[in-house]
Structures are given as structure tokens and as C-alpha cells.
Amino acid sequence: MANAGVEIVDEPVLDATEEQFDRLFAINSKGAFFTLQKAAKLLTDGGRLINIGSSSTVSPVPGTGLYSSSKTASRQLVRVLALELGPRNITVNTILPTVIAGAGVFTQVTEDDEFHQVNAGMRPLGGRPGTPEDVADAAEYLAGDLAAWVSGQALLVSGGAVQ
């Protein structure tokens, strides 16, 4: 499973620096590429590869152009790897979590924060942010036999939110 990444949010595209670009693409794109490549080489036939991406690749959000574009590369890589590894019966998928409490830039967000209050209405399932367990459940599904015929897909884990 590839699950490394760094975020820069609230940074308009016009203000992003080359240093920020290089850092995000080195970790989020290059890191995912070589992690998935190495894992694919080590996997036995019939194995599973899972990438953790970002819901920001589904729907654009102002201030996340640099971050979401760095995460889009691995989403496309998953689709290509699914085709290349399919003959070995290896499935390759990506999970696209939305706001996950305690993860990334949301590490310090609590239910009392304005961010949570504003975004609660966007989450039809209980109005709560996702949890690491929600993402783990999706990974368990994709890693298991029930998803043996699912490959090259992006699973949005969002509590019903469209992004």
C-alpha cells in the first residue's frame, strides 16, 4: 500500500513556488510511483496493490491546485498498473478519502472548530468527518476476495459527500 504524502492547502496556484512544487511532487508523485513500482515487483500473482490518494483529485477546491495535481499522478498510475499487472491477476486500486479526522491538515481539527461546522452539512452520513477506520475498511475490502474483480478503480470514501 502506498500512503505517503504532504499537503499544502490555502495556497492559490498563482502564489505557489517552485520549491513547493518540487517538494510536493517529489513526495506525492515520485514517492507513490516508486513505492507502487517496488511493491508490484515484489507481489506474487493474485496480489493486491492499494494507493491512498485524495478526494481533491475528484473535485477541484480553491487553494489545493498544487496538492491535488501532485496526487493526480498516482491516480493515473494506478489505472496504468491495473492494465499492466492484470495478466498476473493483481488488482490495483486507489482510495480517495475526503476529510479524515486526525489525518494530514486535519490533525488538530475538533468538532468545535469552524471548519468542522461548515463541512458537517456536506456529509450526508452523520455530518461527521471520516475516520482512519473508515479508510481502513475500504482498504480491507479492496485487499480481500470480494474485490477480486475490481481493478483500476478509485473508491471515494466521503460519507456521501461529492468531494
- Virtual CA dihedral for 8, 12, 13, 16, nearest 10 degrees? -60
**Coil, strand or helix at 145:** helix
List the grid coordinates of 27. 513526495
Is 141 marked active-site? no
C-alpha span between 102 and 113 (Å, rounded): 13
Using DSSP bridges, classify how beta strands 91-97 and 48-52 pair: parallel, antiparallel or unpaired.
parallel
Q: What span, in angstroms and rounded, lies between the C-alpha atoms of 115 and 109?
A: 7
- Alpha-carbon separation of residue 161 from 4, 5, 55, 158 (angstroms): 24, 22, 10, 5
Of 8, 24, 67, 157, which one is the catalytic site residue?
A: 67
- Catalytically active residues are 67
